[in-house]
Structures are given as C-alpha cells and as structure tokens.
Chains A and B, each alone.
Chain A
Amino acid sequence: MSSEEIYKGVILDHARHPRNRGNLEDPDFEAKAYNPLCGDELVLHLRLKQDLIEDCRTLVRGCSICQASASMMSEELKGKSMENAAALSGIFKKVLHQKDSEDSETLENLRPLMNLRSHKSRIKCVSLAWNAFDECVEKFHETTEKTTTPS
C-alpha cells in the first residue's frame, strides 16, 4: 500500500484531529507505552463506571500512524465494558500480526489501520496505544481480583 493510500481519509483525519486527546483529572487507570525503536511515547487514561469505560484519553508524542491509532482506539473503547474491550484488543492484535487472516466484523471501525499490515515497521506504531490499554486491563484484573478475593 502506498503512502498516498495510507495518509488519506480516516487515518489522516484522526492524525490531524485526534479524538479524546489529553489527560483525565482523576483516572482510574493509567498506562504508558514506549517504543524503544524510535522513542515514541504515549499515555493512556481510563475512567470506569462500574466496569464500563466511561471516558478515555490519550496523549501521544509520536508519528501520525501512532496518533491516528490512539485516536481510533479511544473511540472504540468508550462505552465498552473492560472485558469486551480487552477481547477487541486481542482480536485486533491477532489480525494485525497475521497478514492474510480474515478481517473480523468487530474490527469494522479499525479496518483502515489493517492496511498497514504490509508495512512491518509500522505495526509497532499501530500497536502502541493498544499495548497501553492491555496494561490497563492487567491492572483492572489485579484490582478486581483483590476486591473479589475474600480476606
């Protein structure tokens, strides 16, 4: 896929006008992700209501692909339960790393990013935000385990 095709439409729009950008005052979960290859970094904040993701913000210092992916992720996460969002992350990453696997319907909104699969060097840029989210999921599981385990 050529640069013309990558840097247009949805991706460029998200890169130029990132949704849900910034910090949350008092996030329930925070995670940082870092790409050691290029120094790109990203902070993800989540606020939960029960186990639903009520709000989500990302702050990105990175390339346009990294920025666009974080922005698109934030739209996907909002309103989902942590479990559903975690499942989505799993599917997204699986498909991202398999060149010819079928696009799953759940990935409808993220499909433009799938075109980057052929650019191996950019897969890390696409995954960065989701890595931060996976870390939040781990923290979420830790806290729910704590509160559900009888003391």
Chain B
Amino acid sequence: MLSEETVVLDQSVSNSSPDSRSPQLDLSQIRNRFPILSREIHGHPLAFLDNASTTQKPDSVIQAMVDFFQQSNSNVSRGVYTLAEEATENYEEARKTVAKLLNAVSEDEVIFTSGTTAAVNLVAQSWASQQLKAGDRILVTEMEHHSNLVPWQQLCKQLGIELDYWTIDREGCLDLEELNQLLSENTKLVAMTAISNVLGSINPVGEVVKRAHSIGAAVFVDAAQAVARMPIDVQKWDCDFLAFSGHKLYGPTGIGVLWVKQEQMQKMSPWQTGGGMISKVDRQESHWASGPAKFEAGTPPVAQAAGLTAAIDFILETGFDSITRHETELTQICLDKLQSETDVEIYGPTSMESRAGVVAFNLRGVHPHDVAQVLNESGIAVRAGHHCTQVLHSKLGLQASVRLSVGVYNTEEEILRLVTSLQHVRDLLK
C-alpha cells in the first residue's frame, strides 16, 4: 500500500570520487558526432540536459537509417529479391547486436517492440494475464515510471489481483529488508526499474531476483534508464524479462526491446495477431510462428532496427567504463554545486555509489515550469513536471520537480551554466 507519508530527502552529498582508472572520454570528438549539438537556442549553444527523456543521435545512427532508406528499403521476411534479403538481414543483425549488448544466451530471446511501454504491455497481456490468477500479487516500487505501473494496475483490475508497493527510504533507495516482508507466496511478479528516471537511484536488481526467485516470483526489469548508463548482463541478473527503448540509448524512436528468458517465452501466448507472426493460417484456425516473431505482428520497425544497431555499436565502442565515469563526474559536480545553493532542494541518493546521472530538484518558491522556461532562455533544456512518476512525486510531497539528466556528450560548462542561470530565475521570479 502507498503510504501518504512525506519524505524529505537529505541534501548532503558524499564526496565519493569516480573511478579514476577508467578511460576518459574524448569529449570534443564525441560531441562532433552529434549534429544537433551545434544548434543555438536564444543565442546560446544548446545544453541538452534532458537525456532521461530521450537522447540525441550520433551521425552513425542517422546515417544508418538514411542508408537503409536509400539503399535497402523493403519489408522483411517477405521477399526473395535482393532488397528484401538485405532488409531481413539488417533486421536480424539488430537482434544479434541487442543480444550482445545484454549478454543474452541467444538472439531468440530478443523481441522487438515499439518501446519500453509496449514491452510492459506485452508481458502483461502475453504472460501475466495467463500465468496469474485471482489472489496473486504483483510487487512494484514507488519509483516506477507510469509505463511500468499503469499496465500492472490495469491487469490487477482485469484479473482481480493485488498490487503491492515497495516503499523508498529517505534517500530514495529501496530497502532489501522490507522486500523480505513484502514477498509472499502469492507474489508472482516483481516489476521494477533498474534506475529511477527521477531520483537516479540504482536498484539492486540481482539481489531482488535472488529473493523473488526463492519464493517462485518472476522479475520484470525496466531498463529504459539503465541501458545507456551501465552494462547490463541478463544472465548475471538472472531476471525473467527486461525492456528498454531505442531512443534512450542514442538510437531512434519507434523501436524497443523486450528480452525474455527462454523458459518464460515458452509460456507466452501472442497478444497482437496478424501478419508475420503465424506459421499457418486456415479458414477458422491459425498456428503461430516460433521464437520472437510470434510476438511481432505486422511490419516491424526495419529502418529503426538499423539505427538501433548503430546506436549499440556507438555505445559499445565508446565503452561503458568511460561513459559511466564521465556521467558520474558531471553528476557529482552538479550535486556539489546545487547542494551549496541554500534554496535548492535535491531529491534522491546522496552518494554517487547508488546514483546515476539524473538529478531532480526544486528551487524553493518557484514552480518547476517557470524554472525550466527561464533556463531555456539560456539554451538549457531540462524537464519540469512529474516525469510520469506521480506516485513517487506524491510520496515526496511534491507536485512537480525540475530534472536534469546527463548524457555522454554533456560538459562541465553546461552544468555550470545551469547553476549560474538559476540566479537569473531568482532575479525574475523571487
């Protein structure tokens, strides 16, 4: 049950320094690969600090999609001519690349969807609606994005099952002790995010999976925020389902991934039916294709798959070591600076040990919308609102917050510009 108790999070920030042994990014080389970064907004260079919402695209991703349209455009799995074969190959190549990124046992565990949201709905309808029954329970955390919450709420109504909440502590973290009390023999699924899109908290997925499995519950991991920020190993985590969106990993919109452990995929029945997902159709009866195709009805996002491959290649070439190091450094600078402003309230973990590059805050006395509007005047793009986490915001006693989230191309100058521009906000509005 959701407690209405309001949590005020501690603002002190520890000085954990990022691992200095990981390689440093060649920032100017990286930035040169993102054409949009040369844009000016209101006479200032664009400082795009809304990467938790979506990320910008490097030249290789854009080029991969242009090449596809200019050279190979055709539908997949439906033609014998050269273009169709190239398109199919390109699409299946993306599946292999995703499998490599996640360290999946096989690319047959990779289902393409339109994004994270579609992946959650697919698991709810194809797996959970068959596997769960009245009296069962689903456990979610208080920090879930609406995308990993509303489909479960709806399913609970549909099946007459209960939705339980794993609460966050004062720092916006999850307490494993509490998990032990929440898991019951009726809990059949734990649905959790790997990284909060507001608090930046990095959650202990592996540990949760161990405990959930010990009582027979499956685990769904929302990796929308994690996928571009940390290496993911589905075998190590041992989770059952994992989802992410291409557009949050420097890839295109319109494509996402649902990874499913093979033994679970066997229990899934198709949600959407139609072309491409069948093996045989008779007048009254149909038989399904095997493997991921069974869950990919209709023409898939073929061009986007080419973009996704290029995006994953970009990430893997850049290397998670350097990406994490860079983002941790920037986030630490940001926390230090904001913390020294007495009218700024920061939400989320105080230590970078358990925090990724997302910082939600409020400037006391000024509505987040107004903060974001004035920051835009200095070319700074940040998000204001509830960031699709209304349960979390009401737990924090907030209606909205300002959120900045760093990406691989952000600079220290951009963070400092944001902090300086807050003074501008105060001058106008306080």
Interface residues of A (CB under 8 A from B): 2-4, 6-8, 12, 37-41, 61-66, 119, 122, 125
Residue of B nearest to A35 (CB): B385
**Residues of the A chain whose Cβ atoms lie less than 8 Å from the Cβ of B399:** 38-41, 61
Interface residues of B (CB under 8 A from A): 42, 366-370, 373-374, 376-377, 384-386, 390, 393, 399-400, 428-429
A3 contacts B369, CB within 8 Å? no
**Residues of the B chain whose Cβ atoms lie less than 8 Å from the Cβ of A64:** 366-367, 369-370, 429
CA distance A65 to B42 in the complex (A): 21
**Residues of the B chain whose Cβ atoms lie less than 8 Å from the Cβ of A38:** 368-369, 384-386, 399-400
18 interchain pairs (CB within 8 A)?
A2-B42, A3-B373, A4-B428, A7-B370, A7-B429, A12-B429, A37-B385, A38-B369, A38-B384, A38-B399, A39-B393, A40-B369, A41-B399, A62-B369, A64-B369, A64-B370, A65-B370, A122-B373
B386 contacts A63, CB within 8 Å? no
CA distance A64 to B367 in the complex (A): 7
CA distance A41 to B390 in the complex (A): 13
CA distance A61 to B400 in the complex (A): 10
CA distance A66 to B370 in the complex (A): 10
The distance from the CB of A119 to the nearest CB of chain B, in whole angstroms, is: 7
**Residues of the A chain whose Cβ atoms lie less than 8 Å from the Cβ of B367:** 62-64
B385 contacts A3, CB within 8 Å? no
B428 contacts A39, CB within 8 Å? no
B377 contacts A39, CB within 8 Å? no
- With contacts A40-B399, A63-B370, A64-B370 taken as known, whether A3 is within 8 angstroms of B393 at the C-beta atoms is no
CA distance A12 to B427 in the complex (A): 12
**Residues of the B chain whose Cβ atoms lie less than 8 Å from the Cβ of A125:** 369
**Residues of the A chain whose Cβ atoms lie less than 8 Å from the Cβ of B377:** 2-3
Residue of B nearest to A16 (CB): B429
**Residues of the B chain whose Cβ atoms lie less than 8 Å from the Cβ of A61:** 399
Known: A40-B369, A62-B367. 13 other contacts (CB 8 A): A3-B373, A3-B428, A4-B428, A7-B428, A38-B385, A39-B386, A39-B393, A41-B399, A62-B369, A64-B366, A64-B429, A119-B373, A125-B369
